[in-house]
Chains A and B, each alone.
Chain A
Amino acid sequence: MASFTHQTTERNFRDRTRCRAHFVRGLVSLFGFFTLWGAASLWLADPELLPPPDAVARVLWSETTSGEMLLHMQATLARVIAAFVLAMSIGVMLGIIAGRKPGVDAWVSPWLIIFLNLPALVIIVLCYLWIGLTEVAAITAVAINKIPMIAVMMREGARALDPALDDMAQAFRIPRAARWRHVIVPQLAPHFAASGRAGFALIWKIVLVVEFLGRSNGVGFQIHLYFQLFDVAGILAYAFGFIAIMLAIEFLVVQPWERSVSRWRRHAH
């Protein structure tokens, strides 16, 4: 027992050291990125084409303090959330039904293949043409882009459900609601997390395109504006603001949630 504890402590120590080394390397790498960028900017000597990092930081700061950045971030975030919720609800439902019922899958599968291969831009343009340059068109376009991928990922999850647990639930006559909550949803959770994560990453990007093409606010709209003004510093400032929000959501929402649903896995032998 003493030797086991000793080994565990040693392993923990090794893990921690490795983790710290990893973090330091990451920081150095990031520093390298900004140095390279600064050097390239100096070499080009054209601040309009490639402004140095500090110029971009100044724009980022002024846009943030003036409240402009927040306004556009909010608009983008609202679209992302609306499209995400819509795409996840429909995609998850469709995927689970298709995965559980091969008969339905035969009907749904060709549609999924068509929509998976339809370029995002085509869907966006068609939605704007058919529905008009409205918020509904923007969110619908983003959701349609995302639904097939979520459905396909959830379908794989539903196909991989353990038939032995299904039998157990049936043999013990577990009520339908409890069966979903305790037997099916926990099995689908990793697929749900993966499709949510992939969905979120893609939706952000598509929302920007939608805003670029037909909205009058949001990060995409601002990038369009700075593009027309040939203001690279403005474009980069919004890009970095955007990355900061993405990372905040990743560390404050996605990772804590994943940790809480996979709690039982850490107890495994």
Chain B
Amino acid sequence: MRIDIAGKSIDHKPVLGRISLTLAEGEVVALTGPSGIGKTTLARLIAGLEPSVGCRIAGAGRIAMVFQEPTLLPWRSVIDNICIATGCDAGSAREALDNVELGDRPDVFPTQLSLGQQRRVALARALATRPDTLILDEAFASLDEATAMRMRVLTRRILEKFGFRTLLITHNLNDAVELADRVLLLDGNPAEIQAGHRLSAPRKATDHKLELEAIRAKQRVARTDLTKGDGSG
């Protein structure tokens, strides 16, 4: 899958600069960067939710997105939420719910579930589309640490099981090193990819300290370069 973006402005303000990105089959790429830098804009562009003038996406296949908020229909049951959004039958929806460990609660309304469980339903909804490319946009944000950890473990298992090509949007480096094959740093104004880091043992290692330090070092270098660039410009 190849993404080429010439630039993206929102309300005449440039948000994204030139961005080229390739995702191999089954690869999990984490896109990190400070809040408000344009990560979600990039995800929305790829998912076709923003006008994509000057943006070329090739080989993405069927894309499924897990949004920052669960965005479920509160007036429909959990299983209906999956069937309506994806057009799948009840059997496939149940299977997707099993994969996120909610197979026993298909008939409840989303408002009866906790935020963590709602997030899992949103993930199941994406799974039920049988996507070629999965976009996870801050899927662990605003969860307490214990729930976020359970969600990360569950997501890792799903990624291992299905081998989706995945773009993981996160501001949290821990999410990135735990789940991704490769981490990209988005920064600058307009935002561009400043650096990349390939993990030595993706989704295997238990201690990510070294990887985190390496990424942080690259982040610092990129920041210094950007500041210098600003100064000279």
Give chain A's interface residues, CB within 8 Å of chain B: 164-165, 167-172, 174-175, 178, 182-183, 186, 264-265, 267-269
A182 to B47, Cβ gap below 8 A?
no
Find residues 125-154 in chain B having any chain A CB closer than 8 Å to their own CB.
125, 129
28 CB contacts below 8 A, A to B, read A164-B67, A164-B69, A164-B71, A167-B49, A168-B67, A168-B71, A171-B47, A171-B65, A171-B67, A172-B85, A172-B125, A172-B129, A174-B85, A174-B87, A175-B87, A178-B84, A182-B73, A264-B74, A264-B75, A264-B76, A264-B109, A264-B111, A267-B109, A268-B74, A268-B109, A268-B112, A269-B111, A269-B112
User: Given A171-B48, A172-B85, A178-B84, are A267 and B111 neighbors across the interface (CB < 8 Å)?
Assistant: yes
CB nearest to B68 among chain A residues = A164
* Residues on the A chain within 8 Å of B75, using CB: 186, 264
* Residues on the A chain within 8 Å of B129, using CB: 172
A267 to B73, Cβ gap below 8 A?
no
CB nearest to B108 among chain A residues = A267
Does chain A have a CB within 8 A of B92? no
B84 to A174, Cβ gap below 8 A?
yes
Can you list the 10 inter-chain pairs with the closest CB atoms, starting with the nearest? A268-B111, A168-B71, A172-B85, A264-B75, A186-B75, A267-B109, A171-B65, A164-B71, A182-B84, A264-B109
> How far apart are the CA atoms of A164 and B68 in the complex, in Å?
10
* Residues on the B chain within 8 Å of A186, using CB: 73, 75-76
> How far apart are the CA atoms of A169 and B84 in the complex, in Å?
9
Question: Could you mark each residue 54-81 of chain B with 1 if its beta carbon is under 8 Å from any beta carbon of chain A, else 0?
Answer: 0000000001110101010111100010
> How far apart are the CA atoms of A227 and B110 in the complex, in Å?
58
Find residues 74-131 in chain B having any chain A CB closer than 8 Å to their own CB.
74-76, 80, 84-87, 108-109, 111-112, 125, 129
* Residues on the A chain within 8 Å of B112, using CB: 267-269
User: Given A167-B49, A267-B108, are A183 and B67 neighbors across the interface (CB < 8 Å)?
Assistant: no
Number of interface residues of B (CB under 8 A): 25
* Residues on the B chain within 8 Å of A169, using CB: 85
A182 to B111, Cβ gap below 8 A?
no
CB nearest to B76 among chain A residues = A182
| A64 → B minimal CB distance (Å) | 42
| A173 → B minimal CB distance (Å) | 9
* Residues on the B chain within 8 Å of A265, using CB: 111
CB nearest to B84 among chain A residues = A182
A171-B65, A174-B84, A183-B73 given; 4 more Cβ-contact pairs under 8 Å: A169-B85, A171-B49, A264-B111, A268-B109
* Residues on the B chain within 8 Å of A268, using CB: 74, 109, 111-112
Find residues 153-205 in chain B having any chain A CB closer than 8 Å to their own CB.
none
Which listed residue, B49, B74, B76, touches A170 by the CB 8 Å rule? B49
With most chain B CB atoms within 10 A of its CB, the pick from A171, A183, A265 is A171
